[in-house]
A = this chain, B = another copy of it.
C-alpha cells in the first residue's frame, strides 16, 4: 500500500464536484460523486433511532444490493426531524441529480449535515445540484472541491488516497470525511465517503467497512452525543480490473488494511478537529478480558467529562480515568492496573499493579503540556486490546455549543 496525492477521484471511473450554492453563507455546501459504471455501495449508519431522511434512503438502498451511479451531499442543513417533508425533499435531491446524469433516483445516494429540524431550502438545492453537476470531472481539484463541500466549519478538509497492487493490478482507494468543527450547533456529525476501483464482492466490501468502523469511527468521541446523521460509505466500481476478490485471501487482507488505514486517519482527524479541541489523546488498552471489554473501557475514558476537563487543565488526574473505567459496564481487576502517560514532553508512570505511584509534578506538567498525549493502560485480565481517541472539554466547546441557534 502506498499513500498517493488525491481524494475520491483517484480511483478509475470516479468524478466529483463541489461548490457553494447558497445553503451556507460563504463556504462550499454541496458535493457530488459519480461512477462511470454501476458500482456496489455498502454503508454503516448511525445507531440513533432518530435518523435523518438520507440515512433512511441510503440504508434501504445499500441493503437492497442496488448498484449506484452517484451521490449528492449537502452541508448546512441536517434534514433530520423534518417529518414527511424531509423525506420528500431528500428524494427530490436524489431525483434532481439522477436527471442530471441520466439515471434513476434509486441509483443515487444522498447525505446531509447541519442544523436539525429546519426545512430544507429546496429552492436553493435543486438549481444548485444542476449547476454543480455541470462541473463534474475526474480531476484532482474536483475531489478537493467535493471534500470542501461536505465540511461545515471543520478547520481543514479531510481527504486521502492510496494505491494497492492486487495481483498485478493497480487498485486505488480515495476518501473524504467531515468532522465536527462547527459554528452551527448540531452539526457534530461524521460523514465518510470512500471510492475505490477495486473488483470485490459486495459481502467482502461490507465486511471490510464494518470491521474497520468498529475500531475507528466508533472509537472516537468529541462530546458523547450520537448524531442523527452519521454514516460511512464505500462505493466500489470494479474498474481496476483485478480478478474479483470473493474470499478472505491475502488480497482481501491488503484491501481491508487499506480501508482501516484511511478510516483510522479520518477518525483521528475528526477528533483533532473536534469542537473547541486543544488537546488530543489516544487511549491504548491492553490485557483486557476481551477486545470488546477493551473497547468499552477505552471508550468510557474518552467520553468522560471529568477526564476531558482534566486533559484541558493539563492535570495528571489518573483517579478520574480509573473511575471512568469502573463505570464503563466492563469488568477488570483493579489490583492489576498499570497506567502511563506519554507525549513528546516525556513519559510518566501513574499506577503500577493497581497502586498509585508517586510522581514528579514537573514531569507530569511537561507530558501534559503537549497537544498530543497517549494514555497507556495495561490490565491483567487477558489479551483484549483496543484504542480510542478523544479531545479535551474546553471553554471553546461550551462557547460554540452554548451559542444561540438562530444567532449563528
Residue ranges of A at the interface with B (Cβ–Cβ < 8 Å): 47-51, 78, 80-83, 115-117, 185-186, 188, 223-228, 304-306, 309-310, 312-320, 322-327, 331-332, 334-335, 354-356, 361, 393-395, 397-399, 401-406
Q: Which residues of B contact A314 (CB under 8 A)?
A: 404
Closest CB in chain B relative to A195 CB, distance in Å: 29
Give Cα A186 to B83, complex, Å: 43
Which residue of B78, B81, B317, B406 is within 8 Å of A361 (Cβ)?
B406
Known contacts: A323-B225, A327-B47. The answer to whether A401 contacts B305 by CB under 8 A is yes
Residue contact A323 to B401, C-beta cutoff 8 Å: no
Give Cα A62 to B310, complex, Å: 35
Known contacts: A225-B304, A326-B228, A403-B313. The answer to whether A80 contacts B319 by CB under 8 A is yes
Known contacts: A334-B49, A404-B314, A404-B315. The answer to whether A226 contacts B398 by CB under 8 A is no
Residue contact A402 to B81, C-beta cutoff 8 Å: no
Which residue of B82, B226, B332 is within 8 Å of A49 (Cβ)?
B332
A48's nearest neighbour on chain B, judged by CB, is B326
A186's nearest neighbour on chain B, judged by CB, is B319
Given contacts A81-B319, A315-B402, 16 further A-B contacts (CB under 8 A): A48-B327, A49-B334, A50-B325, A50-B326, A81-B334, A116-B322, A186-B306, A223-B305, A225-B324, A309-B397, A310-B401, A312-B398, A313-B402, A316-B405, A395-B395, A395-B398
Residue contact A319 to B116, C-beta cutoff 8 Å: yes
Residue contact B326 to A226, C-beta cutoff 8 Å: yes
Give Cα A310 to B361, complex, Å: 36
Give Cα A398 to B393, complex, Å: 7
A305's nearest neighbour on chain B, judged by CB, is B223
A335's nearest neighbour on chain B, judged by CB, is B83
Give Cα A327 to B50, complex, Å: 8
Q: Which residues of B contact A403 (CB under 8 A)?
A: 313, 315
Q: Which residues of B contact A326 (CB under 8 A)?
A: 48-51, 226, 228
4 A-B pairs with least C-beta separation: A116-B319, A50-B326, A313-B402, A226-B327
Assembly stoichiometry (copies): 2
Residue contact B186 to A305, C-beta cutoff 8 Å: no
Give Cα A393 to B224, complex, Å: 14
A116's nearest neighbour on chain B, judged by CB, is B319
Which residue of B309, B322, B331, B398 is within 8 Å of A81 (Cβ)?
B322
Residue contact B398 to A323, C-beta cutoff 8 Å: no
Q: Which residues of B contact A83 (CB under 8 A)?
A: 335, 354-356
Which residue of B49, B305, B404 is within 8 Å of A305 (Cβ)?
B305
Q: Which residues of B contact A398 (CB under 8 A)?
A: 309, 312, 393-395, 397-398
Closest CB in chain B relative to A88 CB, distance in Å: 14
Which residue of B50, B305, B323 is within 8 Å of A227 (Cβ)?
B323
A314's nearest neighbour on chain B, judged by CB, is B404
Residue contact A331 to B395, C-beta cutoff 8 Å: no
Q: Which residues of B contact A80 (CB under 8 A)?
A: 319, 323
Q: Which residues of B contact A399 (CB under 8 A)?
A: 395
Which residue of B225, B304, B334 is within 8 Å of A327 (Cβ)?
B225
Give Cα A320 to B403, complex, Å: 13
Closest CB in chain B relative to A192 CB, distance in Å: 19
Q: Which residues of B contact A115 (CB under 8 A)?
A: 319
Q: Which residues of B contact A224 (CB under 8 A)?
A: 224, 304-305
Residue contact B323 to A402, C-beta cutoff 8 Å: no
Give Cα A317 to B331, complex, Å: 37
Q: What are 9 A-B residue pairs whose CB atoms fall within 8 Å in the complex? A: A81-B356, A117-B319, A185-B317, A186-B319, A309-B401, A315-B402, A315-B404, A315-B405, A393-B398
Q: Which residues of B contact A304 (CB under 8 A)?
A: 224-225
Known contacts: A47-B327, A306-B186, A309-B398. The answer to whether A405 contacts B225 by CB under 8 A is no
